[in-house]
Structures are given as C-alpha cells and as structure tokens.
Amino acid sequence: MAYSEKVVDHYNNPRNVGSFSKETAHVGTGLVGAPECGDVMKLQIKVNPGTGLIEDAKFKTFGCGSAIASSSLATEWLKGKTIEDAAKIKNTDIVNELKLPPVKIHCSVLAEDAIKAALADYRTKHGARAEAAVK
C-alpha cells in the first residue's frame, strides 16, 4: 500500500518521540491499543499550570506507519492548545491531513483515543486542584 507523503514524512521524521519522566509535574498520560492489530500507543501532554496551555507533548507508538504518523501529528497539534481545544481534535482531522486510506482509519481513531485518555488522566490528576484554584 502506498503511503501519502505526509505519512512518510512523519514516519521518517517523527515529531516529539519520547516520554516525560515519571517525576515531571502536570503531565497527563494516555496509553491505548488497537486489539485488531496489537498496536500500542502512549501519548503524554505537559500542561503549563500558569497559562493552562499544553506546552509540550510526547508519544511513543509501536505499530504501523500510519499509527506512528497519526500520533506524531497529534502531538504537533496538541502543543499550544488549551485542554478544551485539545479535546476537539477528531480522528477525521487526522485522516484528512494524512490522507489515510479507509483500512488505516483505525490508526487515527487510536490517536484520538490516546489524546482523550491523556486529557482524562490530566484532569483526574490535576483537574480538581486546578478548579479549586480558580474558585
């Protein structure tokens, strides 16, 4: 199957590969998998507590090229966004940007799931405290 240029680009030069150390504060982690193919994807966000913006994002994906490209793109998009805006990223946006063929749509779904899981993890860990601070 031929990959689009953008997929190949992200696959050859993945952005933001890695992970934050366990001690890093204000990090939300999402770990998801695709049971159909056994791919696993970890995506992390680091939020600036002052501005509430996602200042950094990292991922590690063990899977096919489309899964790597989807998560690489996701981390690029996440940076600079608020938690609320980050939650609006849809798998269809990733499909359009990377021109993923139908058989690879599940890779973009995986990336969206990873974003959601990371945001949920962040909210669980910091949400209550952040809201308390606002009030």
Partner 1 sequence: MNYFEVFGLPRRLGIDVAELQRQFYELSRRYHPDFHAGAPPDEQASALDASARLNAAYRTLRDPVARIEYLVRLEEGRETKEGAAVKAQAPPELLEEMFEIQEALAEAKAGGLDEGTRATLRAQRERLRERLREADAKLAGPLSAAWDAADDSGRPKLRELLKQGLATRAYLKTVIEDLGQALGEEEGTGEHVAHHRH
Which parts of this chain interact with partner 1 (CB under 8 A)?
1, 31-33, 35-40, 42, 60, 62-66, 103-104, 106
> Is 37 one of the catalytic residues?
yes
Shortest reach from residue 113's CB to partner 1, in Å = 9
- In the chain, where does DSSP find H-type helix? 5-12, 65-78, 83-86, 91-98, 105-122, 128-134
Phi, psi dihedral angles at 30 (to 5 degrees): -120, 125
> Is 64 one of the catalytic residues?
no
Residue tagged active-site, from 37, 51, 96, 128: 37
Q: Do residues 29 and 44 make contact, with C-beta atoms less than 8 angstroms apart?
A: yes
* Sequence letter at residue 14: P
**To 5 degrees, how large is the angle CA 43–CA 45–CA 46?**
150
Shortest reach from residue 52's CB to partner 1, in Å = 28
Closer CB to partner 1, residue 16 or residue 66?
A: 66
Closer CB to partner 1, residue 34 or residue 87?
A: 34
Q: Do residues 121 and 32 make contact, with C-beta atoms less than 8 angstroms apart?
A: no
Shortest reach from residue 48's CB to partner 1, in Å = 27
Residue tagged active-site, from 107, 110, 114, 118: 107
Closer CB to partner 1, residue 66 or residue 75?
A: 66
Active site residues: 37, 107
